[in-house]
Amino acid sequence: MGYTLQLDGDTFAATENNGLGRELGKIVCVGRNYAAHAAELNNPIPTEPILFMKPATAAAEIGSYFSIPSGRGSCHIETEIAVLIGSELCRASESQALDAVAGIGIGLDLTLRDLQATLKDKGLPWEKAKAFDGSCPLTGFMSPAADEDYAKLGLVLKRNNVIQQDGNSGQMLTPIISLLSYISEHFTLMPGDVVLTGTPAGVGPLDPGDHLELELKLAQSTLRVSTEVVAKAL
């Protein structure tokens, strides 16, 4: 795929240009990390993080547009704070996890919701619904401030000029840094891996032609991205 994360000033851009970038690794995701989202899908609130993964082939750049699969039923958007890992984490403490954050951006956990419901009913894994090619569109990544407060990051999705998701990391059941440490007890995180930290309430289906505005607020900088949804066969 040649998808890399390229250092551009102090921002890691999600780009297919191989230039100076480092290769993107796996994407580790957490399910139901916001209570209000668990409730909207009638799921119980988990007692510990629910983890799943998307392969590097799931990554796609959020440019002027990104693609959703056509003919696969409803494709939901879950807008999530994405963390780019900069150093290896294996059974890491929270302070090691804090030091390993190389960038903060926005990732979309695209989910074929009809297919996921069928898989869940049968007790089968979710990968076909969540790990398909292009299932993780990513923005570029901003460098966090040295004293970044990871409990105060704001995340907004506007769809066709209407606010659909409006959350902040203070609402997470497992906060970002604790989550990185927890993940590293199960899977070693490597430089270039990305962690999606769960979605606030307000998930819903995307349609081709939708115009999306994504916003991520850090202490000292704000990332704003406008993009459009197109449908494409997988």
The binding site for Zn ion (CB under 5 A) comprises 78, 109, 199
Residue 51 beta carbon to Zn ion: minimum distance, rounded to whole angstroms:
11
Residue 199 beta carbon to Zn ion: minimum distance, rounded to whole angstroms:
5
Residue 7 beta carbon to Zn ion: minimum distance, rounded to whole angstroms:
27
- Using an 8 Å Cβ cutoff, are 15 and 151 in contact? no
Query: How many angstroms separate the CA atoms of 114 and 85, rounded?
Result: 32
- Using an 8 Å Cβ cutoff, are 98 and 172 in contact? no
* 138 Cβ neighbours under 8 A, 6+ residues apart: 14, 59, 60, 61, 62, 82, 105, 106, 107, 108, 194
* 25 vs 167 by CB, closer to Zn ion: 167
* 49 vs 103 by CB, closer to Zn ion: 49
* 4 vs 78 by CB, closer to Zn ion: 78
* 78 vs 148 by CB, closer to Zn ion: 78
In degrees, to the nearest 5, what angle opens at C-alpha 39 toward C-alphas 128 and 189? 50
- What is the CB neighbour count within 10 angstroms for residue 40? 15
Residue 111 beta carbon to Zn ion: minimum distance, rounded to whole angstroms:
7
Residue 214 beta carbon to Zn ion: minimum distance, rounded to whole angstroms:
15
Residue 80 beta carbon to Zn ion: minimum distance, rounded to whole angstroms:
6
* 12 vs 32 by CB, closer to Zn ion: 32
Residue nearest to Zn ion (CB): 109
* 109 vs 215 by CB, closer to Zn ion: 109
Query: How many angstroms separate the CA atoms of 206 and 180, rounded?
Result: 29
Tell me which amino acid residue 104 is: I
134 Rama class: left (phi>0) / alpha (psi -120 to 50) / beta: left
Query: How many angstroms separate the CA atoms of 87 and 85, rounded?
Result: 6
Residue 107 beta carbon to Zn ion: minimum distance, rounded to whole angstroms:
9
Query: Rounded to whole angstroms, what are the CA distances from 6 to 63, 110, 200?
Result: 14, 23, 28
* 116 vs 143 by CB, closer to Zn ion: 116
